[in-house]
Structure 1
Amino acid sequence: MKPLISVVVPVYKVEKYIEECIKSIINQTYTNIEVIIVDDGSPDNSIEVIKDLLEDKRLRVISQKNQGLSAARNTGIRAASGEFLSFIDSDDKVKPEFLESLYKKATETKADVVRGAFRDFEGKIPEGWVSDFNIEPSTGIEALKSFLDKNVSFVVWSSLYRTTFLKENKLKFMEGILLEDGDFTTRTYINATTVATIEEANYCYRVRPGSILTTNNAQRMSESEQKVIRSFITWYQTNPSLEILELIEQSIYAFMRDWTRVLVKNKVNFNPKDGCYSSAVELVKKTLKKRPLSERMKFKVKLQIIEFKYH
């Protein structure tokens, strides 16, 4: 029998979408699965909607008070007993071959992480996202270099992970923030012996009003960017490896691109003389020199606007 794959599905206010999601998981061509549905204190009828589907013995529900997406995923990681693990958001869906194709690549390459592409429900790449990331099986460090060079979108839900790899390296999601996928992906790739990719886009991402990624909460977004960057700066200061230091610089730059965009477009509670911001600006200078001229100029203009706007 093929090894067990754990599928972690965090649930919060998705009663309109969860049935379609769970049905797409139940109907996978890869059948040896456990589906860990983490009810993150959802106040609606999300769990009631799938009551009949829960008769499938491969599904189980873990209920907890509302703690956010990161905490729900961490609960799923702790509960997982499969050899492999995948995250699927409860308002999305997957094609029948989603797990099978990732598992096949994982066994062929012995990868700790296998990433697939994704599309929206209309079969298109969501606007502003970079989905496709195709590389030969590489070390995690080499994969992350390529990932950052191509500005690939930080998402965790189109991938398959070896469960022991996550647990042995104590890899988990930073709680209490948005943008947890970027922090998790960076740390995961750096720790991975091998990362592989597949070209198939078997994950379907739902773009909907009110979801975390489409809610205009500039203050919380800014605070999340700051928290992740601050943790990366601490990591940078304690890491002796030159190769990893350069990757952390690139990762900070990736987050700074987004943070500066938020600061320019919105008025938030922010001080440009904050130690985190000023340290990050210094750390990304080397990375910035390697970017295309148009990108360098755009970033520098944003810094000038921020200096003027928040002076």
Structure 2
Amino acid sequence: MFNMKKPLISIIVPVYNSQNFIEQCLKSILNQTFTDFEVLLINDGSKDKSGSICDSYIKDNRVKVHHKKNGGVSSARNLGLENATGEWITFVDSDDYIHLDFLKNFCESINNKNDFILQKVVRFDDNKSNEIISYLDTEMDQINFLNNYSLHPYYSAPWSKLLKRKIISDNNIKFDPKIAFGEDALFNITYLKYCNSIKTINKVGYYYRDTPNGLSKINFNFENDKYLFHKIKSKLLEYVPENTDANKKILEKQLIYVCGRVINSIYAGKKKNDLTKTSSLLKDFFIENEYIIYHLYRKSKGLGFILSCLLKSKQIFLADKLLKHIIFR
């Protein structure tokens, strides 16, 4: 039986209602200076012309189109992972585009030890552009990477990264469809556990379009954010145990953004709230994470230290009052 040569890289593009941008995205992919790749376009139930635009590119034998019922970006990326055949995986959002040397930059850093390769990102809109993710040319282990880079949404996004498909498939790593925000951070933290060496590249390869309806524009949601916090922390604790001050600093750095989201989602912009409910939330969630709370508010004129002490001593009523003062002042 004739076996077609598998591509070195699979590019997974989740597509949803992006008819205005998808062609720029696809042209930037298909015009790459490095050509040993496949493109998996996952049309996630688009209601505009995105699906038919994707189909029009099937004439290029590197392009494979999958149409599915709308299920969210996580389910779309997971379908891409299930059908990818490349040795390496990268993701591109359908309203973004990539530099002509994006794949070439990655391939120059592929060796026997690097498991995770990342390059710089520029954010742009109709009026301006600026670099939002910067890297030096360096290789590092997990701990050094976690010490240098946090789980801010830009750094935790799946795009601008190259990952080994074998690591993903061997460890059944998927995007969690239960959450609508931070699923990429959880995916990356889970993947990072199995990486021996992480390579960062001092070259701009990815252009992120800042649009009002972009994939990352998600409002606060308590259940989502609480679930995300616990999942990320549990994954981190598998290889960064909470047993030293140095490790706690890593956990602070990685969890501070999600922790802030949880606090904001508890109060949801309301100065008045059900203290009984809030007390339960604070008791169940924050007392064991008081050092992260302190880190979050450490620059608030000593209020972070006071809040940390209140949580340690389970003074929930006063902690609630102080949180409201910090949030609504």
Counterpart Cα distance in 1 of 2:140 and 2:17: 38
Matched letter for residue 173 of structure 2:
L
Partner of 2:313: none
Partner of 2:323: 305
Partner of 1:46: 50
Of 285-294 and 29-38, the range deviating more from structure 2 = 285-294
Q: Deviations over 1:178-211 (max 9, x none)?
A: 2212111222223211111011121000111222
Q: Does 1:160 align with 2:178?
A: no
1:281 to 277, 281, 286: 286
- 1:31 to partner: Cα distance: 0.3
Conserved? CA contact 2:136–2:201, under 8 Å: yes
Partner of 1:10: 14
Counterpart Cα distance in 2 of 1:2 and 1:81: 6
- CA RMSD in angstroms comes to 3.5
2:199 to 193, 196, 200: 196
Partner of 1:110: 113
- 1:66 to partner: Cα distance: 1.1
Counterpart Cα distance in 2 of 1:70 and 1:298: 38
Partner of 2:129: 123
Partner of 2:63: 59
| Secondary structure in structure 1 of the residue aligned to 2:226 | helix
Counterpart Cα distance in 2 of 1:153 and 1:76: 21
Partner of 2:314: none
Conserved? CA contact 2:142–2:192, under 8 Å: yes
- 1:298 to partner: Cα distance: 7.4
- 1:258 to partner: Cα distance: 3.0
Percent identity of paired positions between Structure 1 and Structure 2 = 24
Matched letter for residue 158 of structure 2:
V
Q: Deviations over 1:80-114 (max 9, x none)?
A: 1101100000110001011110121133x731111
Of 223-232 and 84-93, the range deviating more from structure 2 = 223-232
Conserved? CA contact 1:263–1:306, under 8 Å: no
Matched letter for residue 291 of structure 2:
K
Partner of 1:143: 145
1:31–1:135 Cα change, 3 Å: closer
Matched letter for residue 231 of structure 1:
K
Q: Does 1:258 align with 2:261?
A: yes
Matched letter for residue 124 of structure 1:
N
The structure that is strand-richer by fraction is: 2
TM-score, normalised to structure 2, is 0.78
Q: Does 1:71 align with 2:75?
A: yes
Counterpart Cα distance in 2 of 1:150 and 1:10: 21
Q: Does 1:179 align with 2:185?
A: no
- 1:143 to partner: Cα distance: 1.0
- 1:79 to partner: Cα distance: 1.0
Structure 1's unaligned 5+ residue stretches are none
2:85 to 54, 62, 81: 81
Conserved? CA contact 1:141–1:190, under 8 Å: no
Conserved? CA contact 2:15–2:43, under 8 Å: yes
TM-score, normalised to structure 1, is 0.82
Matched letter for residue 216 of structure 2:
L
Counterpart Cα distance in 2 of 1:240 and 1:179: 20
Conserved? CA contact 2:138–2:201, under 8 Å: no
Q: Does 1:94 align with 2:98?
A: yes
> 1:15-26 to 2 correspondence within 5 Å?
15-26=19-30
Q: Deviations over 1:37-61 (max 9, x none)?
A: 1111112210212443221000011
Partner of 2:223: 223
Conserved? CA contact 1:24–1:94, under 8 Å: yes
Matched letter for residue 272 of structure 1:
T
Structure number with larger C-alpha Rg: 2
Matched letter for residue 138 of structure 2:
E
Q: What is the count of residue pairs matched by the alignment?
A: 301
Conserved? CA contact 1:116–1:201, under 8 Å: yes
